[in-house]
Structures are given as C-alpha cells and as structure tokens.
Amino acid sequence: MNKNKRLLVILLIVLVGVTPLLATTYGPDNVVYEQTAQPFAGTNVKSLSMGGAGLGMKGYSESFLLNPANLPGSGFRLSIPAVTVTAYNVVKILESPMIDYFTSDDDNDKIKGAQEFLKTIGKGHGDVLTTDISLLTLNAGGLGLSVQAQERLISYKTGTDMTSTKLIAQATAAATLGFGFNIPVLPEWLDIDLGASVQIAYKAYLEQIGADTIIGMMN
C-alpha cells in the first residue's frame, strides 16, 4: 500500500511539472498571438481621413490621441460617438471571385468563397478587419478624455498555403487621459506646447480558428 502511495505521489509530481511544458499558451508568448501585445492606438477619425496626418493639428477633440501637446488652447470640445470600419486586402478581395461566390445560392460556391477569402490573406502576421468605436471624447481647459472600444480580426499564416491560416478575434476597451499646457517663452514670438497622456486598456481575445473551421462554417 505504501509503495502504491509513493508511486501515486511521484506520478502527480511528474504530471504537475510536465503539464505546463506541454500546454498551449494563448497569449503574446505564442507566435500566433504575438499581435495581441501591440499597444492600442486610439481612434482618430479626422487623422484617418487624412491618411494619418495631423500630428500638430489643433481644433478637433481627438487630436490629443496623436499628440497631447495639441490640448492647450483647444477650448471645450465634445465629440459624439463615431464608428470607423477598416478593411484590409480590399484590392485582392475585389479582384477575386469571392463576392460572386458568396452571393450565389449554391452552397458549394459559398465554400469556394471561403477558400478565395483565405487566399487573400498574406503570409505572416496581418489584419483582416477592425471596427473602432469612439464612445466619448472631451476636451476642457487643457485636459482631454477619450473612451473607446475596438474589435480587431487578426490573421497569422505560416506559409503560402491557405490551410495554414489562423484567425484571432480581439476586443479592446480603453480610456485615455491627456494633459497639455503652454509655456510662453517670448510673448507673441515663441511659445512651447507640452503634453502627456496615460492610457488604460483591457484586451480580450478568442482562441484561434483555422482554415478548416472557416470553410466548415459554409456547410
């Protein structure tokens, strides 16, 4: 009986010690989930519409997300909720027969559409679709506050074969607080705007799904 107990204890110790080495890590330490460690960038609708420009542009409430030094002299500004949807690989999608397949009534065509979609995803890490929601953006007296949410569909592909594609859905909620002030060095000739911001972000993401699962959804 004592020998059996000792054997059981040894097996438990081995199991506890070895299991973490064999377990799958669903986090940034896993190469598939590496993109989940990327810092969250607040949605700036006006900057997006200008191709990412506007680093030193004042006059709109979201400018402090790019540069908190834009806050001094911005006055009181309040932005209503804004939604931004960004799709990637648009040219490849439009050039492929994917849309025609998906709009077909034939179930087999929908499977072909899923296959064409997977072909548009490039090798390595990438993005498929992001939806950004700016819930509240407020500027007042050199202070800025922004509350935002984001849904992001991430891709990871190890080779050129579409079957190696992995998709991960990530959701982020974030609050950004900024402070800016002006230093008049030479009145009416030279002044300096300084600013700083801090952000709290919470991220949640689902377990990866593979190409077989995506194609199977069309059945």
| Sequence-ordered list of residues with C-beta below 8 angstroms from that of 188, at least 6 positions apart, any chain | none
The whole-angstrom separation of Cα 118 and Cα 157 is 10
In a domain, 4, yes or no: no
Position 15 scores a pLDDT of: 45
In a domain, 169, yes or no: yes
User: Of 140, 153, 146, nearest to 198 (Cα)?
Assistant: 146
- Locate 5 and state its tokens: 């107990």
Position 16 scores a pLDDT of: 45
Position 59 scores a pLDDT of: 63
Which H or E run includes 210? strand 209-210
In a domain, 49, yes or no: yes
Provide the residue-wise pLDDT of the chain in tens; the chain has 219 residues.
Answer: 455 555 555 555 544 444 444 445 566 767 878 888 888 877 666 666 666 666 566 666 777 888 888 888 778 888 878 888 888 888 998 999 988 988 888 888 888 888 889 888 888 888 999 988 888 888 888 888 999 999 999 999 888 888 889 999 999 999 999 998 888 888 778 888 888 999 999 998 888 888 888 878 777
Positive or negative, the CA dihedral 9, 10, 16, 17 is: positive
In a domain, 73, yes or no: yes
In a domain, 159, yes or no: yes
Domain count, the chain: 1
Residue whose token pair is 């000792």: 6
pTM across the whole model: 0.75
* Distances 20 to 33, 43, 204 between C-alpha atoms, Å: 18, 38, 22
Query: For residues 139, 143, 147 and 148, what is the CA-based torsion angle, rounded to 10 degrees?
Result: 80
Position 47 scores a pLDDT of: 66
In a domain, 13, yes or no: no
Position 213 scores a pLDDT of: 85
User: For the range 188-195, what are the long-range contacts, defined as Cβ-Cβ under 8 Å and sequence gap of 24 or more?
Assistant: 193/69, 193/70, 193/71, 193/72, 194/69, 195/64, 195/67, 195/68, 195/69, 195/70, 195/71, 195/72
**Residue type (1 letter), 58:** K
Residue whose token pair is 């859905």: 169
Question: Which residue range is the domain that position 92 belongs to?
Answer: 38-216
Position 149 scores a pLDDT of: 92
